[in-house]
Structure 1
């Protein structure tokens, strides 16, 4: 069954189908929320809250809608509510946020690890709306049309905002690289990590 068929079944009262959707999406939601918050504990709490909300708001799912877009809209709202009701917390750099890396030599792994940590810091330094665009487009690999639908903006606006967000992220990343100038490698080598986002 497609995601949409499963959600329609949930909407009509077949609640065990929500378990199938949970299995399909809980990792993707956790990844999205971890990258957005920098806090894996908050991300775990939010994933649970999102599926409770999906169950609560199941009657609002439309026959012609995409489940993933609808779910991420709920996720955005849940994240906003969560942080509105709590004091800000320090971002936690967590290796679980990064995709697995192919095996390489120790020097390369150390260099790559530093680049990844700087990239995570840079990502968390962006405004929420810019970080969200990058996470949706580059990590979740959502199409521009899907992001436009989720955010309620035009596709052209998504492209422009995403371009600006990536440029700002690159500037922040390179600024952090300048701070680390005492390290044994240079900014040009560090810039290689940016295309991976």
Structure 2
């Protein structure tokens, strides 16, 4: 017969349970939430800004806000919805601040990319396809880019995004559908032009 009394450090907590512990003052649990969501938040920010250092800073800002606003987490909704609400606010605040300061937020800052001649042709074509898709994504409005990143890459459900945007799930579906169509259209135009990456 199994011993059901596991030590606390071996228990697996849900996101909500961890956040409720953080809210109650067990701040060590914030590290577990960072482990679970730090990388996906970084991916979200990097795809929005194309700036690695800035993305790391924004992730740190989100977790500072998680700590600062922990008292607002009720636990009746999904933790990820609450987290991405904070993440969107952090990005919006950053954009406002840089705009006020007159700092360029040109997201076309690309890393130096040299073609890897050792990569087989098929892998090279896939890489070019992905880079072209990233360029197409960059040309969409911030709203459309965010919707696609949240649904397709971060895996948020339509109902969670509806909660984030304070709108209906149907409205989100329509907006995502339009964003996907716009992305496809921009991608096809770039492909037809034979844009060099």
Question: Same fold by TM (over 0.5)?
Answer: yes
Distance 1:57 1:182, change over 3 A: closer
Contact 2:107–2:138 at 8 Å: present in 1 too?
no
TM (norm. structure 2) is 0.83
2:126 aligns with one of 112, 115, 128: 112
Runs of 4+ more than 4 Å apart: none
5+ residue gaps, structure 1: 96-104, 184-197
Q: In the alignment, which of 89, 104, 127 is matched to residue 106 of structure 2?
A: 89
What CA RMSD, in Å, does the superposition of the two structures yield over aligned residues? 1.9
Secondary structure (helix, strand or coil) at the match of 1:85 reads helix
Matches within 5 A, 1:25-44: 25-44=37-56
Instruction: Sort the Cα spacing of 1:131 and 1:90 in 2 relative to 1 into closer, same or farther, 3 A.
Output: closer
Return the TM-score normalized by structure 1. Answer: 0.83
Q: State whether residues 93 and 117 of structure 1, in contact with CA within 8 Å, keep that contact through their aligned partners in structure 2.
A: no
Residues of 2 paired with 1:115 and 1:94: CA distance?
A: 17
The 1:94/1:71 distance shift into structure 2, 3 A limit, reads farther
Q: CA deviation at 1:110?
A: 1.5
Q: How many residues align?
A: 174
Q: Go from structure 1 to structure 2 and tell me whether the alpha carbon gap of 1:10 and 1:156 turns closer, same or farther (over 3 Å shift).
A: same
Kindly state the Cα deviation for residue 149 of structure 1 after the two structures are TM-superposed: 1.1
Match of 2:164 in 1: 150
- CA deviations over 1:124-147 (Å, ceiling 9, x no partner): 111111011111111111111111
- Residue 23 of structure 1 corresponds to which residue in structure 2? 35
Alignment of 1:120-131 (within 5 A): 120-131=134-145
Distance in 1 separating the partners of 2:181 and 2:93: 29
Deviation at 1:107, TM superposition (A): 0.7
Instruction: Note the residue ranges of structure 2 that are not aligned, 5 or more in a row.
Output: 1-12, 113-118
Higher gyration radius (CA): 2
Counterparts of 1:133-144 in structure 2, within 5 Å, are 133-144=147-158
